[in-house]
Amino acid sequence: MDIREKALELSHEFIRDMLEFGTEIDEYYRRFRELRILEDDLSFQSALINVEHAFFMVVQSINILREQLTLLKTASQKGEVY
């Protein structure tokens, strides 16, 4: 069973949703960063920095996922996976 076409279709669907989700993540990150800048309590600032870092890690994971989806497209066209 050749599932390349289904995999590509699912990939395109996910990329579309991922772009929407990425915009929302960016907005939440911005709002948490703004709160950290306004906060005077250093220990709470530290907690907010940890949240910002977690957002950064999510974005890094999304970038890796996007790269892997690009490789999937290449593999489906060439018929090989590296």
Encode the chain (82 residues) as per-residue pLDDT tens digits.
Answer: 578 888 889 998 998 888 888 889 999 999 999 999 999 999 999 999 999 999 999 989 998 998 999 998 888 887 665 5
Phi, psi of 39 (to 5 degrees): -80, 135
Q: Which amino acid is at 12?
A: H
Which strand (E) or helix (H) includes residue 8?
helix 4-38
Provide the pLDDT for residue 49.
97
- Per domain, the residue ranges of the chain are 4-73
* Tokens (6 digits) for 79: 């018929």
Q: Given this model, what pLDDT does residue 44 score? A: 96
